[in-house]
Structure 1
Amino acid sequence: MNREAAEKRGRGAETLACWYLRLKGWRILARRARVPGGEVDIVARRGRTLAFVEVKARATKEAAAMSLDAWRLRRVVVAAERLSARYLRPGDDVRIDAIFIVPGRLPQHMPNVWQG
């Protein structure tokens, strides 16, 4: 798949993930939030929980899970650390989540995937 097609597929997956989160009561604060050293696909809030969400679109759930390796998670963690001052409120719980987008299935939300 060429870069342009992959970019379009990624944006579509992020849009689907945002709608899924909204239906589950989350408020989307930012998409594709970039800072030096990393990027977060979605920043979302529900109540006192602030989530930095990585979205993975693959042909299977297993492929999506495999694509979320330690290197990619570290980039999300770096970005979350640098972005948290912008979105964090006193008393918030902060976590790193993932959403897997697989054709023909509902999005799968994996809360708190980073235990660093």
Structure 2
Amino acid sequence: MKRSAAKRERAEKQGRRAESIAAGWLRLHGWRILGQRVRTAHGEVDVIAKRAGLVAFVEVKARTKAEDLETAIDHHRLKRVAAAAEILYPDYCKNGEDARIDVILVAPRRLPTHLTNVWHGF
């Protein structure tokens, strides 16, 4: 049992680190971070960022191997983020901003990959 707790702790630490990397990456590209790890009854949004009248609800995925990033995101995960974003939209888009759902993929020894507007049902 200790082993699985240690594994969860490592995964949690890796996820937090990846979210910090993603937020930094967004800042470098002109985004202002509005929130991190924002929880709702339907799920969590890892990063919420704004730039030029656009709010991005960002799912961050980290893998220890770059080749594993291809399978890091799926419809189920995006649907959960979309449900959370719908709840959060009125709080973060008060001035009629457009909104979208993005994904940032993080792996060691490579730049983050920013996938934009990955959920078209939003």
Secondary structure of the structure 2 residue equivalent to 1:2: helix
- Mapping for residues 72-111 of structure 1, pairs under 5 Å: 72-111=77-116
State how many pairs are aligned.
116
Kindly state the Cα deviation for residue 115 of structure 1 after the two structures are TM-superposed.
1.4
Larger radius of gyration: 2
Aligned to 1:21: 26
Q: How far, CA to CA, are the matches of 1:61 and 1:82 in structure 2?
A: 32
After TM superposition, the structure 1 stretch with the greater mean CA deviation from structure 2, 52-61 or 40-49, is 52-61
The RMSD of aligned alpha carbons is 1.3
1:42 aligns with 2:47: yes
TM-score by length of 2: 0.90
Kindly state the Cα deviation for residue 67 of structure 1 after the two structures are TM-superposed.
1.8
Secondary structure of the structure 2 residue equivalent to 1:50: strand
Kindly state the Cα deviation for residue 63 of structure 1 after the two structures are TM-superposed.
2.0
Kindly state the Cα deviation for residue 81 of structure 1 after the two structures are TM-superposed.
0.2
Unaligned runs of at least 5 residues, structure 2 = 1-5
TM-score by length of 1: 0.94
Q: How far, CA to CA, are the matches of 2:94 and 2:103 in structure 1?
A: 22
Letter in 1 for 2:30: G
Kindly state the Cα deviation for residue 89 of structure 1 after the two structures are TM-superposed.
3.0
Given candidates 92, 102, 119, the residue that maps to 1:114 is: 119
Aligned to 1:12: 17
Secondary structure of the structure 1 residue equivalent to 2:30: coil
Letter in 2 for 1:69: D
Letter in 2 for 1:56: K
Secondary structure of the structure 2 residue equivalent to 1:89: coil
Kindly state the Cα deviation for residue 91 of structure 1 after the two structures are TM-superposed.
3.3
Identity of aligned residues (%): 52
